[in-house]
Chain A
Amino acid sequence: MASFSLSRKASLALFFAAMTAVGLVTPAHRLIGVNQHMFLAANVLALNFCLGLGGQISLAQAAFAGMGAYASVLLHARFPGATLVIVPTVVLGVGLLAALVSRPMERLGEGFLAMATLCVSLVCVNVALTLEGVTGGAAGLMVERRLALPGVGELGGDRLTFFLFLLLLALGSYIFLALRDSRLGRALAACRDDRHAASSLGIDRPAVRAVSFGLGGGLSAAAGVVHGHYTGFISPEQFSLELSLKALLFLVIGGPGNLLRPILAALVLETAMGWLQFLGEARTLVNGLLLGAALLAGYWRVRR
C-alpha cells in the first residue's frame, strides 16, 4: 500500500514537473493554444469533484465557468484593482450557487441529472444573450482590466497565465486528494456506490453532495476568471454547452475518480485535435471518431 501511494505521489510530481517544463520551454505564442487546453483541463478536474467523488454527473460546468468570467470582468470594470477581493468573492459566490443548485437535483438519477444540469447551462447562456445591456449579448464583451495583485502588478501574458492555470490545477488536485481521503470523501464514495445504503447509514446525501458540487463549481469559476481576463474578450459562445460536454467526455475517457488520467486525456487529446485543424470541414467527424475510439478503448481495457 505504501509503495502504491508513493508511486501516486511520484506520478503527480512527475506530471507537475513536466507541465512546469512545458511552461518554461515552449515559446510564448505557442502557449496561447496550450492555455485553452489548460482551461479545459481545469474544468475536467472541477467536474471530477462532482462525478468522480460524488457520482453526480454535471453538464453545468461551462455555466459556472461563464458565471465566474462574467462576474469577475463586470466587477473589475467597476472596481479596478480590487482583484484580491473580487476573485475570492466570485469563486465563493459561484461555488455557493452551485451547491444551492445541486441540492434539489440530488435525487435525480444519472441521465436525468445530466439533462437538468444541461438545462442550467442553456438557461445561463440564454440569460447572457438576453441581458444585452449588461453582458453585451451575442456580440460579447471586451475585457479592459487585467487581474492585478498589489506589489506584483498585472497578471497577464501567455506564460504567466499558463502558470496561473497550473497553480489552479495543483490547488484543485490537492483539495481533490485531501477530500478523497477524508471522512467527507468516504461519505461521498458511499453516496456514489450505493445511495440507498449511504442514506441508511445516516449520511445527509444532499448536504454531502452539495459540498462536492460546490467545490467543482468554485474551481470552474476560478478557471473562468483566469480565462476571461486572459483572452481579453468574453462571449456566451466560449462557455457554451460544448465546453461542458468536452469536460464530461474527457473525464469519462480518463475514468471518473482518477486524478491525473482525465487531465492527461484532456491535454493530449485536445492537442491532437488541435493538430487536426487542417482537416477543415471534416474536423467534427474526426473529433467524434477520436472520442468514440477513446471511449471504446477505455471500455475494452477495463473489461480485460
Chain B
Amino acid sequence: MLALYLAQIVNSGLALGAVYGLMALGFSLIYCASRLINFAQGELLLLGGLGIATLAGVMRLSPLVAVAAAALAGFLLGRALFATTLGLTLRASPLRQLMLTVAASLVFQGVAILAWGKNPLMPPRLLPLPDLRLGPLFFGRDTVTALALAFCAMAVLGVFLKYSRLGRALRATSQNAVAARLMGIDPVLCHALSFALAGALASLAALAVGPQTGLRYDMGLGLGLKGFAAATIGGYTSLPRVFLGGLALGLCEAALVLFLSGELKETATYALIIVLLVAAPAESEAERP
C-alpha cells in the first residue's frame, strides 16, 4: 500500500516538477542575464499554450511540428515581452522594470480573457507518448510527456549555452555585463535573447501542463511563483541544479497533497519559500538585486 502511495507521489510529483523545472529555467535565464525578476513568466506559458491549442484545433499537428511551433510561439512572445518591458526601460530603476512586468502580465491575461474566455480550456495531447512502468514505479502519459519535453529542452539549451557563440555571449553577460560589453558583446541583444528563450521554455512547459490541469486565464501567477521557488532552490546559476530544484518542489508538493488539504499544501509551499529565501547563504548578498 505504502509502495503504491509512493509510486503515486513520484508519478504526479515528477509530472508537475518537470513543468516547474522548465519555468525555473526560464526564470533563471532572465534573472541571470538582466537581474530582473519576471512576473509575467506564467503568462508566457498561458498564452503560448492557448495559441498552440488553437492551432491544433485548426490543423493536424504532428508531434515534432507541435513542439517546434510551441517553441517558436514562445520565442516570439518572450521577445515581445522584452520589447514592451525591459527594452523600453533599460535605465529605469529595477523596481519600475519589475512593475512593468506585472503590468505586462495583466495585459497578457487580458488578451487571454478576450480571445479564449474565462473558462478553462483542455488542450489536446499533442505528443503521443505511452505509459511507462519501471519496476515498482509507474509513469503516466502526462509524466512521460513532461519529463521528455523537459529533458530535451534542457539538453538543447545546455548545448546552445555551452557551445554556440551566442550562448557563450549570454553566459558572459550573466557573469559580468561590463566585461562582456568590453569584449564586443551587445548586452541588450543578450537580454532580449534571454527573454525569448524563457518564452520558448514556458511554451514547451504549456505543452506538458495543458493536458494535466487545463489552461485557465488566472493560472499564470501560481505557476510563475512555483518556477521562482524552484529557481531559488536550485540557486539560479546551474541548469541541472535549477531543474532538479523544480523536480524537488514538485515531489515535495505531491507528497504534501497526500497528507494535507489543498490549501494547507499551498501554505506549506509558500512558507517553505520564505524559509528558503531567508535561510539562503549570505555570501551572495552583494549580488542580489
Contact = CB atoms under 8 A, between A and B. Distances in A.
A281 B250 CA distance: 33
Interface string B32-58: 000111000000000000000000000
A252 B99 contact: yes
B37 A130 contact: no
A298 B96 CA distance: 9
A123 B277 CA distance: 15
Contacts of A292: 84, 100, 103-104, 107
B152 interface: no
Interface string B86-106: 001101101110111011111
A83 to B, nearest CB: 31
Interface stretch (B64-72, B120-128, B173-181, B267-275): B267-275
Interface in A269-299: 281-289, 291-292, 295-296, 298-299
Contacts of A109: 285, 288-289
Contact of A291 (B103, B232, B266, B289): B103
Nearest to A138: B263
Contact of B267 (A105, A110, A127, A303): A127
Contacts of B270: 119, 122-123, 126
A231 B59 CA distance: 51
A125 to B, nearest CB: 9
B114 interface: yes
B111 interface: yes
A281 B113 contact: yes
B12 interface: no
Given A295-B99, A298-B96, A123 B107 contact: no
B274 A116 contact: yes
B119 interface: no
B282 interface: yes
A108 interface: yes
Interface in A215-253: 241, 245, 248-249, 252
Nearest to B117: A281
A130 B267 contact: yes
B157 interface: no
Nearest to A283: B110
A153 interface: no
A130 B288 contact: no
B102 A245 contact: yes
B1 interface: no
Contacts of B215: none
Nearest to A250: B99
User: Which of B31, B84, B221, B270 has the most chain A CB within a 10 Å cutoff?
Assistant: B270
A96 interface: no
Contacts of A296: 88-89, 100
Nearest to A196: B286
Contacts of B289: 109-112
A283 B109 CA distance: 10
B288 A112 contact: yes
A252 B110 contact: no
Interface in B117-148: 117-118
Contact of A115 (B37, B263, B271): B37
B183 to A, nearest CB: 27
A108 B274 CA distance: 11
Contacts of B114: 281-282, 285
A243 to B, nearest CB: 13
B103 A284 contact: no
A123 to B, nearest CB: 5
A110 B278 CA distance: 13
A288 B98 contact: no
Contacts of B36: 111
Given A104-B278, A115-B37, A292-B104, A122 B266 contact: yes
Contacts of B96: 252, 295, 298-299
Nearest to A287: B106
B159 interface: no
A111 B266 contact: no
A114 B98 contact: yes
A289 B104 CA distance: 8
Nearest to B118: A281
Contacts of A241: 221
Contacts of B37: 111, 114-115
Task: List the 3 shortest-distance A-B pairs measured between CB atoms, nearest first.
Answer: A285-B110, A288-B106, A109-B288
22 contacts: A105-B277, A110-B95, A111-B36, A111-B94, A115-B228, A116-B278, A119-B270, A119-B271, A122-B225, A126-B263, A126-B270, A281-B114, A285-B110, A285-B111, A287-B110, A289-B110, A291-B102, A291-B103, A292-B100, A292-B103, A295-B103, A298-B96
Interface of B: 31, 35-37, 84, 88-89, 91-92, 94-96, 98-100, 102-111, 113-114, 117-118, 221, 225, 228, 232, 261, 263-264, 266-267, 270-271, 273-274, 277-278, 282, 285, 288-289
